[in-house]
Structure formats: C-alpha cells, structure tokens
Amino acid sequence: MSTDLQPIIINLNANREGLVTESFLQGFGQAIKNLLGYMFQEAPPTFKPTTSQKAHMAVAESEGAPSLSPRAKIVGTPSQVAAFGNALSKEKKYMDTFLKYGLNDPHSFKSRSELDHAVTNFEKETGIKWPLK
C-alpha cells in the first residue's frame, strides 16, 4: 500500500473553459474542506470525536502512519492563484478569530469583513463561487 497522497488539483480557469458543473463545484468545495482541515490539523477538537473517527485514529496510530501533508496543484493565472491563496488564508484567519473571541466580537467582525473582501476578489478573478459562506 502506497503512503503517497493523491494531489489536490484545483483549476481556477474552469469557468473560462466552460467546465463549471455541479460536480466541479462539489469537488472544489471538498478540496477547500481538505485544505482547511489540514491547516487546522493541530487545533484541538471542538467536539468529541465520533466512534468511527476514534477507530480511524487508532488504526492510523497502530500502523505508524506518517503525518502527510496534502499536495495541491493550483492551475490559473497569477492573479487567480493569488486571489485563491488570499481567500483561503482569510478563511482560516476568520475561523481562528471566531473560535478565540466568539462571533459577536469586534475582532471577528473585522476578520469577517476581510474574508468577504477576499472572497469577492476571488469570485471576480475566477468567476467561480466560493464554496463557504
């Protein structure tokens, strides 16, 4: 069994190439979810793990599974890639902020505003809707 992870491939030119379908959007959302999950890998869980998650962790631990980081290939123009990276980092910053301060804190409002601006820029650059709102 190979320990290599399959790369996450995100085509930011999909709208221009006429490739945006429901399936594409579902895959795009899953890719964002996976990347954010990796970014929060070291964060303490906010909920108790489910039985299946506990079983998965136990199997991975018993097999001595290495902690692998996902490989991602982002396809697009430099401005599209920059907009994607900015939106993804603002998404993480907003999540960190509301977990630390709560949703009704000025820090969270400011972070949400920055995220909204980054998402608007991403959508303008790519023509693809940001999957998390």
Q: CB-based burial of residue 89 (10 Å sphere; 0-12 exposed, 13-18 middle, 19+ buried)?
A: middle
pLDDT tens for 65-110 read 555 556 788 899 999 999 999 999 999 999 999 989 999 999 999 9
Q: What is the pTM of this model?
A: 0.73
Between CA 31 and CA 18 the distance in angstroms is 19
pLDDT tens for 6-56 read 778 899 999 999 999 999 999 999 888 888 888 777 655 555 555 655 665
**Neighbouring C-alpha atoms within 13 Å toward the C-beta of 129:** 11
